Amino acid sequence: MPSQTPLDCPLPFADYPNILLAHGGGGRLTRHLIEELFLPAFRNPPLDQLHDGAELAVGESRLAFTTDSYVVRPLFFPGGDIGTLAVNGTVNDLAMCGARPKWLSAAFIVEEGLPLATLERVVQSMRQAATVAGVQLVTGDTKVVDKGKADGLFLNTAGIGVIERPLAVNPAQVRPGDGILLNGDLGRHGMAVMAARESLGFDPPIQSDCAPLAAPVLALLDAGIEVHCLRDLTRGGLASALNEIASTGRVRIAVDECAIPVNDEVRGACEILGLDPLYVANEGRFVAFVAPGDLTHALQILHSQPLGREACLIGAVTDAAEPLVTMKSRIGVERVLDLLSGEQLPRIC
């Protein structure tokens, strides 16, 4: 829980000489690694935007380019597997740049001894997911490492999308007054993976929400909705995504707990495991920061989309000020929604 591990001071590398699981958790230590190591080393305008992907100019065209590795354990879980995840995760990062996803690469790191039938099943999932998302897998790579030197299968996909409209969708564009729309209930993916990993026999099993989000996003953009920022709610969940945007865009954000949908099965599972659904990863959920005048229209559009039927307004950008995310709780108390310092759920994507 965030409040149990507050850490508001910078974390010099000297305090953490070795990599911790939390460095990959999407919380404070991940941010630290990015800001203290990667950004200073590679500094350039596309990278500096700290968005889900880089925006590139090629001739008259604008492209989005993104990459993600997938290390989920177990490889198969209710509602998906590492293959569907690897396609949808990268498709979604492109969609969050306002791009139409077009082409993916696929790179496999396989542990010696993995059954070929397992690899085949993953490849078939990727094929299906690519067909549904309307993308092509155009280039790839396979490496095999000795037994005991990997965990079955790691997958990387990079993706290229085309930004078809003259828009700027990134954290620097958010501004006071923007409403924050969420396309559905939270926490399914993380809890589905966790339950499969720990063999928790929820009945019926919680299904991952893993899905390609380009259709609802492009529906908003095609309708001319003034979208300022988009972010899918993967590692670290809603709370981490809002914190990242508040921090990069230098704004305050306020959300209302009552407005944030979490279904009963997920809420129950979270309570049993001592987890907060606001920090649990999703793979088919996103927030859209939308200009106030366009909110009603945007909700109408989302409601007409299969992946936006339960879309709702969960909060707003309140000020251009020191970055902060607050939440009004069910009992009306306002509290700070912080970045996690530790790692709540390792290896869910």
Q: Which of residues 60-99 bind a copy of itself (CB under 8 A)?
A: 60-61, 63, 65-71
- What is residue 50's three-state secondary structure? coil
Binding of residue 216 to a copy of itself (CB under 8 A): no
SS3 (DSSP) at 261: coil
Contacts of 327 (CB under 8 A, 6+ apart): 254, 255, 256, 257, 278, 315, 334, 335, 337
Does 17 bind a copy of itself (CB under 8 A)? Our answer is: yes
47: contact with a copy of itself by CB under 8 A: yes
Looking at residue 54, the DSSP 8-state letter turns out to be E
Task: Report phi then psi at 116, rounded to 5.
Answer: -60, -30
Query: Contact region for a copy of itself (CB under 8 A) — 121-129, 208-216, 254-262, 285-293?
Result: 121-129
- 282 lies in the site for a copy of itself, by CB under 8 A: no
Site size for a copy of itself (CB under 8 A): 80
> Which residue of 4, 8, 18, 331 would you call a contact of a copy of itself, by CB under 8 A?
18
Which range in 117-125, 218-226, 252-260, 268-276 contacts a copy of itself by CB under 8 A? 117-125
Q: Which is nearer to a copy of itself, 117 or 331 (CB)?
A: 117
- How many residues are listed for the chain in this entry? 349
Residues 6+ apart with CB under 8 A from 266: 185, 186, 187, 188, 191, 206, 277, 280
Q: Which two tokens stand for residue 65?
A: 């380019």
Residue among 6, 46, 134, 177 that touches a copy of itself (CB under 8 A) = 46
State yes or no: cis peptide before 277, omega within 30 of 0: no
Closest CB 87 distance from a copy of itself, rounded Å:
11
Residue 201 sits in the site that holds a copy of itself (CB under 8 A):
no
Amino acid, res. 70: Y
Under 8 Å between Cβ of 80 and 283: yes
Q: Does 38 bind a copy of itself (CB under 8 A)?
A: yes
Residue 182 or 234: the one with the smaller Cβ distance to a copy of itself is 234
- Indicate whether 35 belongs to the interface with a copy of itself (CB under 8 A): no
Among residues 9, 116, 331, 333, which is the contact residue for a copy of itself, using CB under 8 A?
Answer: 116
Of the pair 232, 257, the CB lying nearest a copy of itself is at: 232
| Under 8 Å between Cβ of 266 and 345 | no
Per CB under 8 A, contacts with a copy of itself among 317-346 are 346
| CA 185 – CA 282 distance, rounded (Å) | 9
Cis ω before 115 (30° cut-off from 0): no
The mark string for 162-191 relative to a copy of itself (x by CB under 8 A, - otherwise) is x-----------------------------
- Decide: residue 68, CB within 10 A, 0-12 exposed, 13-18 middle, 19+ buried: buried
**Euclidean distance between CA atoms 88 and 92, whole angstroms:** 6
Q: Which of positions 221-250 make contact with a copy of itself (CB under 8 A)?
A: none
Binding to a copy of itself by residue 258, rule CB under 8 A? no
Q: Does 13 bind a copy of itself (CB under 8 A)?
A: yes
Please choose, out of 157-165, 188-196, 240-248, 298-306, the segment that lies near a copy of itself by the rule CB under 8 A.
Answer: 157-165
Q: Which two tokens stand for residue 56?
A: 């590139």
Instruction: Please tell me whether residue 123 binds a copy of itself under the rule CB under 8 A.
Output: yes
Given candidates 7, 76, 151, 205, which one binds a copy of itself under the rule CB under 8 A? 151
